[in-house]
Structure 1
Amino acid sequence: MRRGGSCRGGSLNGYPLDKLYEEIAFIAYYFHWPHAEIMQLEHRERTRWCEEISSIHRKLNQTPDNVFKP
């Protein structure tokens, strides 16, 4: 990974580094995938996995997709 928010393997150019770390930590924590494997995911695939994990949490917690709607 290089400074400036870009990295190899993830097709990122100018992507916020804090957001990248957040996604990596989220997937690694829940799926126990190694860093190198997560970094090889394309950006869209990585964000899709984050969405799927979040969806699982909503179902388990019975939280609506939009918490601002009844």
Structure 2
Amino acid sequence: MTYAADLLYEEVAYLAYHFHWPLDQLLDLEHPERRRYIAQIARLTGHEYE
């Protein structure tokens, strides 16, 4: 598996954990949009996401 695939799995898992969205909906998001949601979740929960 490549770094990009590993990162995709990590991002999708993070969003799925917090939003409970279906996999196909998460995979349809463009990378910048996924990162924006991740950043917002991190701010709301007080956690850091790298």
Same fold? TM cut 0.5: yes
Structure 1 or 2: larger helix share? 2
Q: For structure 1, which runs of at least 5 residues remain unmatched after alignment?
A: 6-14, 66-70
TM-score normalised according to structure 2 size? 0.82
Higher relative contact order (CA 8 A, sep 6+): 2
Q: Aligned pairs, how many?
A: 48
For each residue in 1:23-52, what CA deviation from the matched residue of structure 2 results, as whole angstroms up to 9, or x when unmatched? Answer: 000000100001100011111001100101
Q: Which structure has the larger Rg?
A: 1
Q: For structure 2, which runs of at least 5 residues remain unmatched after alignment?
A: none
Moved over 6 A (4+): none
The percent identity for this pair of structures is 42
